[in-house]
């Protein structure tokens, strides 16, 4: 394999506290009932708009009349707190270092807004680890649409047969299938193994080091 494309939240980094903090602060500023961490865990994965749609419904809003208001508040708060208590999962840094030594190109594809995705990657991993970082941005449909994977493969000049996609959710399972690339799903992220099985996850790994078995094939 010549390249690995990673999801960010729940795959490389534990970002649940930053997401929960920002959503709860948004709802509090709007005078709405706050959601729980477990609700937030279930709501993430499809981008900020869908996250806030789900959060508003859980907070008692019966329609999306305040959606744009919530997005404006959320984006402001999240931009200030997108690295709040964010850490790489155990073994991730070592796995990335090994992939770099083996000359595998590394990329991030996230449904997190692009500016925040770049900010998190830079602050948590530094510069020079990833060859490309892509968050949700205009002109590229969000996952599970394959456009992001295809854009990264074109940028890195690799084909489907030499690229792995790595994620942690049902969105990632479908993204890999839609893009036609080998997909590895991790068990340490925001979804339970039961949820991953229901989503049709094929190969599931339990530790970052296990990924090396597939990149060396």
Contact between 159 and 54 (Cβ < 8 Å): no
Domain with CATH 3.40.50.1000 in the chain: 3-14+86-215
In whole angstroms, give the CA distance from residue 19 to residue 17.
5
The model's pTM is 0.91
Q: Check pLDDT > 90 for residue 200.
A: yes
Q: Check pLDDT > 90 for residue 64.
A: no
CATH number of 3-14+86-215: 3.40.50.1000
H or E segment to which residue 120 belongs:
helix 114-125
Summarised one tens digit per residue, pLDDT across range 170-195 is 999 999 999 999 999 999 999 999 99
Q: Specify the CATH superfamily of domain 16-81.
A: Putative phosphatase; domain 2 (1.10.150.240)
pLDDT attached to residue 63:
84
In whole angstroms, give the CA distance from residue 129 to residue 61.
42
pLDDT attached to residue 62:
84
Summarised one tens digit per residue, pLDDT across range 69-110 is 999 999 999 999 988 899 999 999 999 999 999 999 999 999
Average pLDDT (10-28) is: 95
Domain with CATH 1.10.150.240 in the chain: 16-81
Instruction: Measure the CA dihedral 50/52/56/59, to 10°.
Output: 120
């Amino acid at each position: 394999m010549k390249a690995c494309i990673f999801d960010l939240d729940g795959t490389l980094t534990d970002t649940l506290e930053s997401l929960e903090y920002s959503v709860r602060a948004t709802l509090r500023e709007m005078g709405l009932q706050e959601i729980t961490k477990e609700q937030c865990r279930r709501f993430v994965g499809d981008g900020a708009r869908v996250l806030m749609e789900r959060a508003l419904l859980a907070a008692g809003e019966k329609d999306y009349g305040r959606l744009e208001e919530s997005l404006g508040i959320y984006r402001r708060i999240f931009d200030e707190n997108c690295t709040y208590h964010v850490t790489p999962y155990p073994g991730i840094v070592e796995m990335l270092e090994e992939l770099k030594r083996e000359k595998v190109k590394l990329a991030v594809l996230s449904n997190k807004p692009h500016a925040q995705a770049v900010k998190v990657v830079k602050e948590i991993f530094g510069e020079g680890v990833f060859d490309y970082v892509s968050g949700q941005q205009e002109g590229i449909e969000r996952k599970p649409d394959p456009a992001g994977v295809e854009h990264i493969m074109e940028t890195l000049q690799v084909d489907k047969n030499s690229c792995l996609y790595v994620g942690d959710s049902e969105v990632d399972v479908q993204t890999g299938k839609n893009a036609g690339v080998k997909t590895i799903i991790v068990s340490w992220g925001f979804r339970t193994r039961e949820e991953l099985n229901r989503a049709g996850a094929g190969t599931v790994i339990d530790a970052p080091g296990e990924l090396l078995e597939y990149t060396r094939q």
